[in-house]
Amino acid sequence: MQANRHSRSGSVNIQRRRWLQLAGLAGMPSFAQTPAFPSRPMRFIVPFPPGSGTDITARLFAKSIGELAGQPVTVENKPGGNGFIGVQTALSAPHDGHTVFIGSNSTLSTNAAIFRKLPYDPMADFAPITLFSRGACLIIVPARSAYRTLGQLVADARKRPGQLNYASGSMSYLLYSEWFNELAQMKTTAIHYKGAGEAVNAVLTGEVDFAVVDASGSYELARSGRVRALAFTASERSIVLPEVPAIGEAGWPEYLAFNWVAAAVSAKTPAAVVEQLGALFAQAGQTRQVQAYYRKQGTELIMSSAAGLRRYQTDEIARWKRLMDITGIGLQ
């Protein structure tokens, strides 16, 4: 099947051939062929607070799907517990497809790599629907911080081991931050928060010295000068913040940190319903408002098939396990 792709000049910039293997929309049935679903209002469960990249994605697609399906779609934020609260909410709902879990790398891959006794299995308990998108991170500091470059932050951290602190909104961000500590040969202290929104707010208020955060949820703060972005964790600069150095320019080209957002439902959901959901999300991904949002954010819009998401989860769990080894963080 042919992937749903657009060039930077025409639509969303999908950069790598790898994503061709993940997408698979052309042969999917249209929503018009399955008018019986949804038959009532839908819920999107987000395991993070409002304002996170996952939450923004959920609300964007809730609007589009609500319009396509003719049924209201409510976004419910269930933060806390490393995403476990949101996961439990989604899995305990009726298995009829009307409750959809909108998760991220944290809940759908990272947790499986780092928790010794995870109360759910992201591969066995969830049926994949689609991988929405993938985006890089920003390393940010408070607006009044003395650090103007990432090199300055690293130099100070090396002089004062353990005295600088960073905000961590999830286990993914903890691992990303500790990975950078390892690469930069510095030691900083983690301050844990319930989600990305709280972590960003900690930078805004100056509670912490820096944070690795989802770029899409922090662009406006950086553009308005409310936080200072020191680096963009991709191989090229962001088209949204072209003045911010790519991580290679800042001195650490191997530090390619990114986040992704995906949709899944309980594995007990009938296969026909999962297929209908996949078709519905595929249609939503092609709407003008969704395309425009991702084009503006400079984020990869992927809209994979269910099988593509499952392959990607497998690869990601292996990647997070490698990061566990690199950082020396033991199983939780």
Residue-range domain boundaries for the chain: 18-134+259-327, 136-250
Check residue 4 and give its pLDDT: 42
pLDDT in tens, the chain (332 residues): 444 434 333 443 444 434 444 444 434 444 445 447 899 999 999 998 888 889 999 999 999 999 999 999 999 999 988 899 999 999 999 999 999 999 999 999 999 998 888 999 999 999 999 999 999 999 999 999 999 999 999 999 999 999 999 999 888 899 999 999 999 999 999 999 987 889 999 999 999 999 999 898 899 999 999 999 999 999 999 999 999 999 999 999 999 999 999 999 999 999 999 999 999 999 999 999 999 999 988 888 999 999 999 999 999 999 999 988 888 776 66
pTM (predicted TM-score): 0.80
HEC letters along 222-233: HHCCCEEEEEEC
Phi, psi of 117 (to 5 degrees): -125, 80
Is the separation of the CB atoms in 327 and 182 below 8 Å?
Answer: yes
Check residue 49 and give its pLDDT: 85
Placement of tokens 């209201």 in the chain: 72
Residue 26, judged by CB atoms within 10 A of its CB (0-12, 13-18, 19+), counts as exposed
How far is 110 from 119, CA to CA, in rounded Å? 14
Q: 178 is written with which tokens?
A: 């500790």
Residue 212, judged by CB atoms within 10 A of its CB (0-12, 13-18, 19+), counts as buried
DSSP letter, residue 304: B
Check residue 195 and give its pLDDT: 79
What is the per-residue DSSP string for 227-290? Answer: EEEEEESSSS--SSSTTSPBHHHHT-TT---EEEEEEEEETTS-HHHHHHHHHHHHHHHTSHHH
CATH of 136-250, one of 3.40.190.10, 3.60.15.10, 3.90.1010.10, 3.40.50.620: 3.40.190.10
Placement of tokens 């996961």 in the chain: 87
What separation, in Å, do the N-terminal and C-terminal C-alpha atoms of the chain show?
Answer: 40
How far is 311 from 264, CA to CA, in rounded Å? 14
118-to-87, 88, 91, 164, 261 alpha-carbon distances in Å: 11, 12, 14, 31, 20
- Does 136-250 match 18-134+259-327 at the fold level? yes
What is the architecture, at CATH level 2, of domain 18-134+259-327? 3-Layer(aba) Sandwich (3.40)
Residue 232, judged by CB atoms within 10 A of its CB (0-12, 13-18, 19+), counts as buried
Residue 38: cis peptide before it, omega within 30 degrees of 0: yes
How far is 18 from 29, CA to CA, in rounded Å? 24
- Give the pairing type, strands 126-142 and 300-301: antiparallel
- Give the pairing type, strands 99-104 and 258-266: antiparallel
Residue 138 host element (H or E): strand 126-142
